[in-house]
């Protein structure tokens, strides 16, 4: 089962990948897509997969091979570490921290997609 916000995020990132020329921008879009998918995969209502830590370590290794713009690369590494550490930093918070570097490096359209994913990753309010 996947997160309900995943199809919208996938569509936005697929469009951005198709429009990006080769180089740091395309690598940045791809790296960001991987991190957004990992964050949404650990967000409610989805139960955390038993191998989530292993998947996040593999993601961190994969990110090292991509040539994303420096501010985005630092933010993605921090996001992956926060998701892996699970110190109470929820996926919604991790995704919201990626909005500014995404806007700076890749543009407002992708930043809006990340922001929408962050809103969707928030747990439902308890009354």
In a domain, 70, yes or no: yes
In a domain, 127, yes or no: no
In a domain, 51, yes or no: yes
In a domain, 1, yes or no: no
> 121 by DSSP, 3-state: which?
helix
In a domain, 126, yes or no: no
Q: What is the pLDDT of residue 2?
A: 65
Total domain count, the chain: 1
pTM: 0.85
Quick check: 125 pLDDT over 50? no
In a domain, 78, yes or no: yes
pLDDT tens digits, residue range 34-56? 999 888 887 766 656 667 888 88
Range(s) of the domain holding residue 47 = 6-121
What DSSP letter does each residue of 60-107 carry, written as one string? HHHHHTS---HHHHHHHHHHHHHHHH-SS--HHHHHHTTHHHHHHHH-
pLDDT tens digits, residue range 54-79? 888 999 999 999 999 999 999 999 99
CA distances from 119 to 15, 30, 99, 111, 113 (A): 21, 21, 11, 12, 10
């Amino acid at each position: 089962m996947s997160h309900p916000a995943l199809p919208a995020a996938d569509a936005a990132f697929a469009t951005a990948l198709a429009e990006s020329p080769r180089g740091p921008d395309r690598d940045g879009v791809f790296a960001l897509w991987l991190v957004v998918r990992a964050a949404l995969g650990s967000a409610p209502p989805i139960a955390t997969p038993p191998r989530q830590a292993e998947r996040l370590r593999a993601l961190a290794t994969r990110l090292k091979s991509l040539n994303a713009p420096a501010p985005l690369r630092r933010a993605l590494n921090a996001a992956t570490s926060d998701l892996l550490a699970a110190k109470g930093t929820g996926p919604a918070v991790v995704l919201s921290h990626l909005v500014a570097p995404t806007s700076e490096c890749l543009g407002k359209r992708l930043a809006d997609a990340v922001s929408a994913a962050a809103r969707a990753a928030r747990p439902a309010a308890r009354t």
